Structure 1
């Protein structure tokens, strides 16, 4: 329980550095993983996000050699020596060049790690400082077997370095960017879906950088996609003899993803004869829309002068569109109206 009288630091007196660290922790976002539930003062540590994510980015030297360069930036590192010790703010104010140890001989592969590390004598050891450093990995018989080395307990991982036998320089292709990003509480966290936290607090928002979409935390502990804007109408690629009607005022067949994530079809087409109960391959939806398909599309169309039921089905993997005819046989000149057909779960 908090004390009633104001603590000393509220009167600007002397106080332990841990107080500042805990204040910083209170301003940063929740980490969002089950393992952190038992230590609620933990934060999501990592690099401060920025335009094109250049903060503390690891890159090769202009003329590649056995060094890497870490750009300027801010990093937040949680103390993992003991629960409740707070968060460190580490600032690199200019490019820093780090030396990578020489490569091994024939048949020797390794993976090194570039990290921002904090050493605090209050909780462990006798050194109090933070460093940008390269942690050397152990050798393995193949590149696939090379594993990331053991890391200091209080560090933020910035990059993995792939080192091959007798290698004499670190090029861009040897550097894997593995930074996490940390934001202020309530801010949107940019993160790849493969490393996204799965225990978001209600309302916490992630931007999934690899799929270009937002998700948010729900009250029941699950996540859901945020409602996007509808995408632009995109022409459908029609197959065989299928094509637009060519009549004045008719729109060529097209598709889009709606705000709820379903697919909507529009336009008018005509093509081949289809007997009652028969099927026909119509075409495919645009490739860019296929990853968003989660439903089969079934609908009712008005054909020609006589109303007739047709079913339009879209394969959620290939995007192939097929038509199943209803009561009345279709001719090659029958119009099939796609307007108002939406993706639904069946």
Structure 2
């Protein structure tokens, strides 16, 4: 469901058909929908996760970058650390495949770069060094040979390899193909640039280690950047010189928000091979490009948007309702609003708030599984 679908639903619920007598413009409805999504997200946020590389002897980290720049991180829900068993992460391939041109068509003309990664049950390594080749007219097929394979590992086996390639004269490799084994050493590439333009890029973190089970959820303190600003964290992972962290005189808002893990000295990471998985909350996306609101909750957004639209339109200056006296300092007078309109507006807002409370209780019930695996409370608030 996209924004246009919600707009149509709101117009139907408001009995506001298109035409000369239409009360609300699309801009009016979009503002009401935005307010409804904002309020809904406070009760039922969009939960995403990001993997972050631990740094040696470091407890404080900056907030993860949100999945969408228009939906910033609101708060952290959960932090899993360590995500994988220490020492099980595989090294990235140390060399790339050998490349040779072949007669045929498919690729463009120009310089192509190739790289590959190892795949395990837990994830994927970082990429190998790049190898490159330049295609010529009539020789627009590339044969890849000597594709590296991983050595046998009793604790963490390689189940496949991903091949990545740039576009002609490009610099950003994207997924070309997956070899679902650890034996194939050749591949013929005649895939056009357009076919891989929107495929995933190479991983920036090595997630190939064996996942720990059960997951270890860690206590953490949010907004610890008020004391140890994230901008004071050195790239090496250390806090810098003595007294260097948190002593800046700049405004608090100038410091990037951070969180601090409650780790004992023995649990501190010794190197940067350990990952943590951070689950964070953002507002929901609802625009022309996509929607993260569950389909079953779209009627709640419609209800809230109707309530906010009715509230905005009942303002006297919008609908020629009478002012008290027309003065500059005149105050809003709800007695000048038709009683039927006022009751309809209040009823919609009351229903919207009740639905938000219901999904809040449902979310609290479902979160029992965090501590009691599989034991879901039998009572449902809406039947």
Q: What TM-score do you get using the length of structure 1 for normalisation?
A: 0.24
Greater per-residue strand proportion: 1
Q: Which has the higher contact order (CA 8 A, sep 6+)?
A: 2
Q: What TM-score do you get using the length of structure 2 for normalisation?
A: 0.23
